[in-house]
Chain A
Amino acid sequence: MSAVVALDRLLDSRHVWRGQAISSPSSTQSTGHTELDSALPGGGWPGSALSEILVATSGIGELRLLWPTLARLTSAGERVVLVGTPHIPCPQAWLAAGVDLRQLMIVRATGRDALWATEQCLRSGSCGAVVCWPMQADDRALRRLQVAAETGKTLAFAYRPLDEAVNASPAALRLTLDARELRILKCRGGLAPARPIATPALVAGGGH
């Protein structure tokens, strides 16, 4: 019993800092890739939060990472908005990936307008997921997106260049993707696994 009293006294004297219970992501959405799901703390994308995907270059499977999620959302009748796409989405490939194009909307915008449009879409709560390609986004802009995703309870994805990995970011999840491997830089609610994740469907040379 004395130990308990001593602990209380310790806490009262404020020498011991008590960690807050981490609010685990309320809901997660499966990524559609088993290996990635098992590596992520909630077993999927953090729901109503911003996930950042840092890609080295185009053509290394960055869309294949997201297609299963978008396919699942659009077939469930949820709207998916793409803001500021770097190239033209080729409808045949998106259809082949299972995305229902009727639920897909594209917003042409660049720079600050793209960030504004993304925030509006997230905040409105009328979309299932919003994917954006911000050209330059600072810490504050990303925080706004993160708050907007929480407000609208919407999945948010931001594709950014790999150089941004050294800068801090308020996103709930940060992934890096290059031609060979997928790494988790940061994930809210758990420790980021140090080893890269083998996702045969993602890395180049695997299936389409």
Chain B
Amino acid sequence: MLWACILFPQLAMDGVLRHRADADSPLALLAGPAQRRVLQAVNPAARAIGLRPGQSLIAAQALSQDFATADYNPVEIEHWQQLLAACAYGFSSQVSLHYPRCLLMEVHSCLSLFGPWPRFEARLREELSALGFRHRITVAPNPAAARILANVHNGLVITDADALRQALDRLPVQHLGFSREAATAFSRMGLRNLARILAQPRDSLSRRFPAEVLVQLDRLLGIRPLALDFHRPPDVFEQRIELNFDVKSHQALLFPLRRLTADLAAYLAGRDSGVQRFVLHLEHRAMADSQVQVGLLRAERDASMLFELTRDRLEQLQLPAPVLAVRLAARDLPRFAPERRQLFDERPQQSLPWEQLRERLRARLGDEAVHGLSACADHRPERAWSTQSSIPQPISPLRPGWLLAQPQPLREASLHILAGPERIESGWWDGDDVRRDYYVIQTRSGQRGWAFRELGSQGPLMLHGWFA
């Protein structure tokens, strides 16, 4: 077993920053009661103007006025952890959120699929950076050691017990994951690193320190296993982005929308499923949400495609009121089957596969706008066609190429009847009784049509189609 620990040192800050287009302007996260707001975290730009975590808001405002603030929200942080776990689940089936702000994943079993560790690591880092989270990654033979090494290292890979012992021996006692009291006691006793602690007799340690200290020591060395709760991805995707001002235009919604669809795609890749139906909720003040329903004909999970389709549908929507928050909910997550492609494509310049083109057309023209055509076994012409694609029917008697949606009376005087009558009498059982004599007619200008007269009526011929 080989465990990777991915530590997110700035999880709360990154979670807020990724919703902001201006990530480089100063920003501070605030915590604490309303009377005494304290800066919980600051980004590098805020640090540059003198803000520090732990300052009170009043002290910070005395230093500078031009920084933005946001709430430090533990619920949000939990949400980001779940999202990151869902991404990691795409690589490994054993992913745990045992430690706060950090992911543990078993990587030895997935090396054969994702290549040697350097390539795997590069891919992990690329995906995490694309999601907008800063991170540190370490690998060790047991999860507790990986977590401890991530405190001081980034990119360190240790595969055997001897090397692990060497790396751990040098670590200062404050970073070993002991409680504050135990760490202080060790350093006052002069035991400043792990090597010095392990040099002590075990029974004297157990007499002087609580049991957790020995447990932690054993876990670091891999003697005692760490019981982990593994992450199981949720069955539905739901994510909400609160906008920091009232948005009245579509343009300003595109940035959060891009984030939402990218997160959805990452979640889907982790589950190895696609999405067929999802809803974008636009939340208003004191009004029901506006909803953008997106329905696809087959499961998809390409981030740019999902974004483009949602954008096309969003642009058709009239915003009734300013938007305060955007929420994306996807409940219908069927299996994803990648489209088979031919190795030697006959049309190499094919830039857009038909499935994507079809979704793009449907997004703009409406869900019903693109359909196939097939014949139905019914004698009545208006019921002999359907928009479903189906198996071909046997060839029937002569029919015109165009069928008029509504039969029109033919008021022309000089009509030639070329063929007919053909009696069509059907439908008495379903209340749509048809008793007609059909003729092939030719007008004076040379058009050939298909017209009928109701049985027993003396009115004009009704034109029902063109032999085009």
A-side residues, CB < 8 A to B, are 56-64, 67, 79, 86-97, 100-102, 104-109, 113, 116-117, 120-121, 123-127, 151-153, 178-180, 203-205, 208
Contacts and interface: CB of A to CB of B under 8 A. Distances in A.
A142 B360 CA distance: 21
Contacts of A151: 349
Contacts of A96: 395-396, 398-399
A124 to B, nearest CB: 4
Contacts of A125: 347, 349-352
Given A57-B447, A153-B349, A179-B445, A91 B369 contact: no
Contact of A102 (B351, B352, B372): B372
Given A87-B405, A90-B403, A127 B354 contact: yes
Given A120-B357, A126-B353, A204-B448, A91 B375 contact: yes
Interface stretch (B35-43, B157-165, B381-389): B381-389
B352 A60 contact: no
Interface stretch (B167-175, B216-224, B460-468): B460-468
A152 B370 CA distance: 20
Nearest to A91: B375
Contacts of B368: 108
B446 A58 contact: no
> What range describes how many residues of B lie at the interface?
35 or more
Interface in B411-429: none
Interface string B3-28: 00000000000000000000000000
Contacts of B73: none
Contacts of A104: 372-373
B255 interface: no
Contacts of B384: 90-92
Chain B contact residues: helix, strand, loop or mixed? loop
A88 B402 contact: yes
B392 interface: yes
A179 B446 contact: yes
Contact of B370 (A102, A107, A208): A107
Given A88-B402, A126-B352, A64 B468 contact: yes
Contacts of A107: 361, 365, 369-370
A113 B364 contact: yes
21 contacts: A57-B445, A67-B401, A87-B465, A88-B402, A91-B374, A91-B384, A91-B385, A93-B400, A95-B393, A95-B395, A96-B399, A97-B401, A116-B364, A117-B361, A125-B351, A125-B352, A126-B350, A126-B354, A152-B351, A153-B347, A153-B349
Interface in B286-320: none
Contact of A120 (B361, B369, B395, B446): B361
B373 A89 contact: yes
Contacts of A153: 347, 349
Contact of B446 (A64, A100, A101, A204): A204
B198 interface: no
Counting chain A CB atoms within 10 Å of each CB, the highest count among B351, B360, B447, B465 belongs to B447
A47 B248 CA distance: 47
A127 B399 CA distance: 27
A58 B365 contact: no
A102 B354 CA distance: 14
